[in-house]
Amino acid sequence: MIKNTLLPVAEFCQRRKTFIDQMPINSIALIAAGSEVTRSNDTEYPFCQNKHFYYLTGFNEPDAVLALIKGNDSTAAQSVLFSRKKDTLQEIWHGRRVGQVQAIDVYKFDNCFSLDEVDEQLLPLMVGKASVLICQHEQSDFQQKVLSWLAQLRKSARTGIKAPAALIDCSDIINEMRLHKSNAELDIMRQVNVISGAAHQRAMQQTQVGKFEYQIEAELLHEFATNGARYPAYSSIVAGGDNANILHYTDNDETLNNGDLLLIDAGGELAGYAADITRTFPVNGKFSAEQNTIYQLVLDSQNLAIDAIKPGQTLAELNRIVCNFLTQGLYDLGILQGNLNVLLAQRACKKYFIHGLGHWLGLDVHDVGDYHASPQREQLRAFVAGMVMTIEPGIYIPRTDKTVDEKWRGIGVRIEDNILVTATGFENLTVNAPKTIADIEALMAQ
Ligand code: GLY
Ligand code: MN
Ligand code: MN
């Protein structure tokens, strides 16, 4: 069993330093933690920290605020945390709190105050030298609070107080930082991939005709948690038969039928980092001829894309490779009909490959980071070592599609691995989730 691995505190300190180095001079950044979300009456969903806040702090309590204050240069910059204060009664009912003393000791903030002291301690930090205020614009509730602080400060203008005049978003700085993974992050991402691969193995072994999809979901969650990834990184998709043609199917409440495929898209979260793995396999353990054909086509396209990954490569080029291959393959099978050159030029496979080829992966399953490097907004950004992405081609032929021979209908296949760009090529982090037809059938026959 793996203890829930945390990154070293030094890594979070280094991130704050790197962030501060990129802040404009005379600025202050305010990044807020997430808040608990009510599930029903007085119970909450499991808490998930705001990922930007977590990235800069490693601090996992709700409602805190990180202030990064920079003057004329980075040397005297300060990291200040505002967090919940210790409270015996609250802690008896709801759990331990870190408190301010420990926050400084353990998380190495320069200073820490309780949230009750925000007006008293934070507002003075926002006046005078700070001419730019940086925050996370999509945090609308916190943004309102920031605007009200600014309004409060502006009311005092006659006393000589000058509030920051510019309000800018933190994403340009932090998204780029998060896109490039450190060795410590990659170690966690390898671990969570191994845990998630084991969960996919378990799902294959536990699948039986007549079980409910949610029973297989339970096997995934068991394997994640047993190995230290207490929560899934996103709601697991356990989609039997035609349900695989609903891309984000999470109802998971139907029975598994003999002769159908089962598509599972599931990954655990470890120390905040996501795995995002999809496998598709036959409920009864043996691919039919048509399932085998579509599966092998998707798998071959995935391998083509993965093998082409290296520094300098682009997602646009990988998409071109996969679209050409899938269009040709679907044409050869008679699923796409017409003039091949026209079909290739039109990327006709997109009728059945209805989503993107992949996305950045990290603290968020659809991780932050710009995909583009051209004014046309094509995905022409060149890969560099340290980026992690998914490669997840799929073919989805809904049961209702009358344009294809009946034998193909109701087949939905996606295969998804997590790939690190290395200095010389790539490393596939998804090492233990069976993927070839032979390996899947062998495991399910055991
Ligand atoms: N699990 C969502 C996705 O593959 O993008
Ligand atoms: Mn994905
Ligand atoms: Mn996925």
Sign of CA dihedral 353, 356, 360, 361: negative
CB 434 within 8 A of CB 201: yes
* Ligand 1 binding pocket includes 417 (Cβ within 6 Å): no
Res 203 pLDDT > 90:
yes
End-to-end CA distance of the chain: 24
Residue by residue, DSSP assigns 203-271 as: HHHH--TT-BHHHHHHHHHHHHHHTT--EESS--EEEEGGGGGSTT-----SB--TT-EEEEEE-EEET
Residue by residue, DSSP assigns 354-409 as: -S-S--B-SSSSS--S----STT--S-PPP-TT-EEEE--EEEE-TT-TTS-GGGT
Q: What is the pLDDT of residues 338-384, one digit of tens each?
A: 999 999 999 999 999 999 999 999 999 999 999 988 777 778 899 99
Give the pLDDT of residue 123: 85
Q: Name the residue at shortest CA distance from atom 5 of ligand 1.
A: 366
Res 284 pLDDT > 70:
yes
Residues measured by CB to lie within 5 Å of ligand 2, the ion:
276, 390
Residues measured by CB to lie within 5 Å of ligand 3, the ion:
265, 276, 278, 416
Give the pLDDT of residue 286: 98
Q: Name the residue at shortest CA distance from atom 3 of ligand 1.
A: 276
Domain ranges of the chain: 9-178, 180-445
Distance (Å) from CA 266 to ligand 3 centroid: 6
The residues near 44 (Cβ < 8 Å, ≥ 6 apart) are: 36, 37, 38
Closest ligand to 263 CA?
A: 3
Closest ligand 1 atom to residue 248 Cα is 2
- Quote the mean pLDDT of the chain: 95
* Ligand 1 binding pocket includes 234 (Cβ within 6 Å): yes
Q: Work out whether strand 237-240 and strand 261-266 pair parallel, antiparallel, or are unpaired.
A: antiparallel
Rounded distance between C-alpha atoms, residue 367 and residue 233, angstroms: 12
Closest ligand 1 atom to residue 366 Cα is 5
Q: What is the CA radius of gyration of the chain?
A: 25
Class of domain 9-178: alpha beta
φ and ψ of 313, to 5 deg:
-70, 160
Closest ligand 1 atom to residue 359 Cα is 5
CB 416 within 8 A of CB 193: no
Class of domain 180-445: alpha beta
**Could you give the residue numbers annotated as active site?**
42, 248, 265, 276, 355, 359, 366, 392, 396, 414, 416
Closest ligand to 389 CA?
A: 2
Q: What is the pLDDT of residues 299-344, one digit of tens each?
A: 999 999 999 999 999 999 999 999 999 999 999 999 999 999 999 9
Q: What is the pLDDT of residues 145-199, one digit of tens each?
A: 888 888 888 887 777 778 888 999 999 899 999 999 999 999 999 999 999 999 9
pTM, two decimal places: 0.96
Give the pLDDT of residue 351: 98
Residue written as token pair 């996103």: 234
